[in-house]
Structure 1
Amino acid sequence: MKPAFRFKLILFGNIAVGKTSIIDRYVNNKFENEYISTMGYNVFEKTIDINGNSVSFMIFDIGGQEKFEELRKKYAEGANVALLVYDITNRESFTNIKKWHQDLINFTDNAFFILIGNKVDLEEARQVQMNEGADLAKEIQASGFFETSAKTNVEINNAFYKLAQMLLEKALY
């Protein structure tokens, strides 16, 4: 029997960029149209199989509000991997990714991360172009970049699968 791998995953990004929706889509394959801000934190778990290896994510969904900074710091400790998330219809959320990246550096021990531009189902309201996201991902040395939609389930599973593959390769070799 092959060993099981467990990784602690955190999500950082401005309030209302879709962090909880991304998790809900990935873990439960559902989307809630009504927005409810995360107060404090929630923990989810999902296990997938990659080439016969069990890969489990313990996912910490921490509120994006400024008042939860200490909580983010506490729960980011020991994280192996992160998603930095912005909303493609909100330029400020994109601009703030550098701040979230700095928090990631400050709060974790070199966590592996990818950049996510969420809400591609709202293309007509786009404020951040795909090439801008790709350029930022290179600049901050993200291990990957995806544009997603939690609402329409665009690239959500692929983003997590790619993360799991990269982590597994790192763990095995």
Structure 2
Amino acid sequence: MALVWPVYNGREPTRGGPWANISAPDAISLFELSEADFLSDLDKTPRFGDQRREFFHEGFRHIVIEIEPDEARRSGLKPGFYISRVDPEEAFRRLIEHAFVGALGSENVVRVEYSSTTDSSGNDAIRITVVIAPGAVKRLREGAALDALVRLRERLRDMREERNPIIEYATEAELAQNAGH
């Protein structure tokens, strides 16, 4: 598997675990990796910026993908750490979308958008809009929406995202219609 690490600049590049553990082909596709993105072998943790200081207050600055030897052989890349050109905010969105695609199917998910909001109790929440393809509802297997919710909650937990998700499903046409009102 490939580990997706959100990384800080400075002496300590991570806190906690990776955001996701996904297949190397998925990681290569989601994070647009190539051989040119290789940073280091697995025995050397990559670091960025001034290593004499801590920069946690600046938030995540990079996405680093760790590809283990078994996955590397299957993917055509060598084992090690790779840096993604995808910024952490977009990586967060792509990992949320990946959870939905895994449960609903790529033919049914057009894209996923998210934004910060508050729930009915005034607590911080994350609004997730899943844009589905026309006719997707008819194609979904029974229980797919529940599976999607379970996968999303697992992904958010792994990403240490504590906000409660508020999920809405809509087609492009429904979004356009709602925007017109």
Structure 2 length-normalised TM: 0.27
Larger Rg over CA atoms = 2
Larger relative contact order, structure 1 or 2 (CA cutoff 8 Å, min sep 6):
1
Structure 1 length-normalised TM: 0.28
| Structure number having the greater helix percentage | 1
